[in-house]
Structure 1
Amino acid sequence: MTTKISNDNGIKQEEKSPEKSPEISKKDLNRLFWRSFQMEFSWNYERQASLAYTYAMIPILKKLYKKKGDLSAALKRHLEFFNTTPHIVTMILGISAAMEKQNATDSKFDSSSINTVKASLMGPLAGIGDSFFWGTLRLIATGIGTSLALKGNILGPILFLLVFNVPHIALRYILTKVGYKMGTGFLKKLQENGTMGNLTFGAAILGLMVIGGMSADMISLDVPLKIGSGESATAVQDILDGIMPGLLPLAAFGVIYWLLGKEVKATTILIGIAVVSILGAWAGIFS
């Protein structure tokens, strides 16, 4: 759209007025929902589910950014590391869609906050999602399905799939809309009154706490060595636990974190973990 204006000499010139950002429709959000299922299939050790996340966002990004440079920057933005429980990822996708829309219309919007919000939410949501879907719903579905299957009932595997997938798909669909509405309303107000930074900072702290708890629970590292002999022998692991429970898992986590800070490739770190674990178990250092 253009408007006619006159300069000091009375000569008419054309000036471009700001383009109105395309609206994100229900159809666009539905496409976001359906594309989110790729989180189960497209995954890698370096950036986890980043490819699937970007794939889900492509239709919305193409609609919002008409310039090649803007679209390229948005695609690169979402190729950063991302990982959370796939069943509730649509909430973060909806928020990202809303923030991308705001970024496309507001020149003062800080585009780096899009990834900040993603990173701060994926940890807490993963803790909730894993506990509910993997730790609760899957066990309930398995119990129902197995009890019927052991009796030769064909409903066993069918009910297992239904009990697990119907709630998960319904919640995945609902969270797409919830995330987008939260992004367009709630996050906009937070940015206007200056509390967006506090929110992202607090969410980041919560996410790190969740990741720390998961690391302590999921990393298993024990030393079976003993000092002395007979009944008076003292287990080295008991000494380490007396100093601080989970000391070895913390040390292992610290070493891996340090290596990542030195930009050592994730594949190299994984190979190193396998080699150290095998050699340590063979030598009797690790149980």
Structure 2
Amino acid sequence: MVKGIILAFLAFAVFAWGDAIVKEIGHDLDPFEVTFFGYLIPLVLSPVFMKPGDHVLDIVRWNRPWLMGLRVFLIAATTPLSVMAFRSLPFAEAFALLFLMPSLVTVLSIFILKEHVRWRRGLAVCAAFIGVLVIVRPGFKELLPGHFAALSAAFCAAGGVIAGRMIGRTEKRFTLISTVFLATTVLAGVLMIPGFAWPIGHQWILLLAFAATAFAAQALFIVATIYAPADRLGAAQYSQILWALAIGALFFDEWPDALALLGIVIVVAAGLFIFAREQTLKRSRQQADPLPETMPASPTSVSTQN
């Protein structure tokens, strides 16, 4: 268990550094172009995630095509939206808005999965939205396109989680992973055409570094799930906000003011509380019904490599 938790923290640290690379390169290249090259190499390398019995064609063999199509589209849209957010917002602020995702998952669960949400989680969701208002402060500071991009990315990521829960265990792990790489590459490849500019020397280095982090972080998290259940590792993703604060201050000279820090704390605390409550409720259901669940909820990173 401990080894799995350590690997999960390491995976999310790599995710955070990948997002820092995105922020660095995002000012010079079209966000869709950054996404395309960043996911092309992981797509080529995705067969390493295959298990005995898997086939490369499983990437397009879906047992539940409509739900899989919706899931891969939503997750594919998350990455370029996140790139847009990172290029125009302070690093930690963008992360905090993306961390609204767990609260949005709770809201969507009520309407789509017909899940009953008790008052504690309801209050946590309200607190998360209040935290976002504290960070953004509409009417008191300029609303940038990055704010809307970050919120849209959080919504798409939440929709992808809900679709994943509806899919359950009907698809292979390789299919779930590789389709994200494939869909993100294809979607970004089409959308990058109008603003395409051929990368120059140092940009190629950054693009390759981003691709390496996208692949390495995913691989580290998969190895972590060998040693600990995936749903126990989700809280590790909140360590990204610490990396974001440190990287933003040290490399981008971004120092959040007191209100921004307060909003970040509120959003992260609300997300952690929702995660803890979901774990408690899941254990209660397992004790009441010892049969394995058919639709386990695996954590999804809110980073661009999601």
Pairwise same-fold verdict (TM > 0.5): no
Q: Which has a greater percent of helix? A: 2
Q: Which has a greater percent of strand? A: 1
Work out which structure has the larger RCO, using CA pairs closer than 8 Å and 6 or more positions apart in sequence.
2
**TM-score, normalized by length of structure 1?**
0.25
**TM-score, normalized by length of structure 2?**
0.24
